[in-house]
């Protein structure tokens, strides 16, 4: 008599080694250290600029605009370095255009 049972194997090896919410197999920036990320750019966050926080990328009102899943697990400082964005982005936040380019490049 067939009772219709079948075995289901669950991959329990999916990990997020850096704790950014993006699994290691999809993480573009392994080793993201959100505790080491400054709370804001070195000057002030300009309009239409973004910065990474523990909640994701926020605008100057504090609204989350992008998640770490959207950015491939990369923080603001990692994106600035990897995309060679320059000092202006470190001072005033990543421009919306630069962030859109980063995200579209991940596809």
Which tens digit of pLDDT belongs to each residue from 60-97? 999 999 999 999 999 999 999 999 998 999 999 999 99
Residues in contact with 107: Cβ distance below 8 Å, sequence separation at least 6, in sequence order: none
Model confidence at 6, pLDDT cuts 50, 70, 90, reads low
- Count H helices, E strands: the chain? 3, 4
pLDDT at position 1 is 56
1 within 8 A of 54, measured Cβ to Cβ: no
32 within 8 A of 73, measured Cβ to Cβ: yes
Angstrom CA distances, 6 to 2, 3, 9, stand at 10, 9, 10
In whole angstroms, give the CA distance from residue 32 to residue 82: 13
Which tens digit of pLDDT belongs to each residue from 26-40? 999 998 988 877 777
């Amino acid at each position: 008599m067939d009772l219709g049972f079948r075995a289901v194997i669950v991959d329990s090896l999916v990990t997020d080694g850096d704790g950014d919410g993006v699994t290691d197999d999809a993480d573009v920036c392994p080793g993201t250290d959100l505790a080491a990320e400054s709370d804001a750019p070195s000057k002030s966050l300009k309009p239409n600029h973004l910065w990474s926080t523990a909640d994701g990328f926020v605008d100057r009102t504090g609204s989350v605009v992008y998640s770490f899943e959207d950015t491939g697990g990369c923080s603001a400082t990692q994106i600035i370095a990897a995309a060679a964005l320059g000092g202006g982005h470190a001072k005033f936040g990543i421009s919306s255009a630069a962030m859109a380019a980063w995200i579209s490049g991940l596809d």
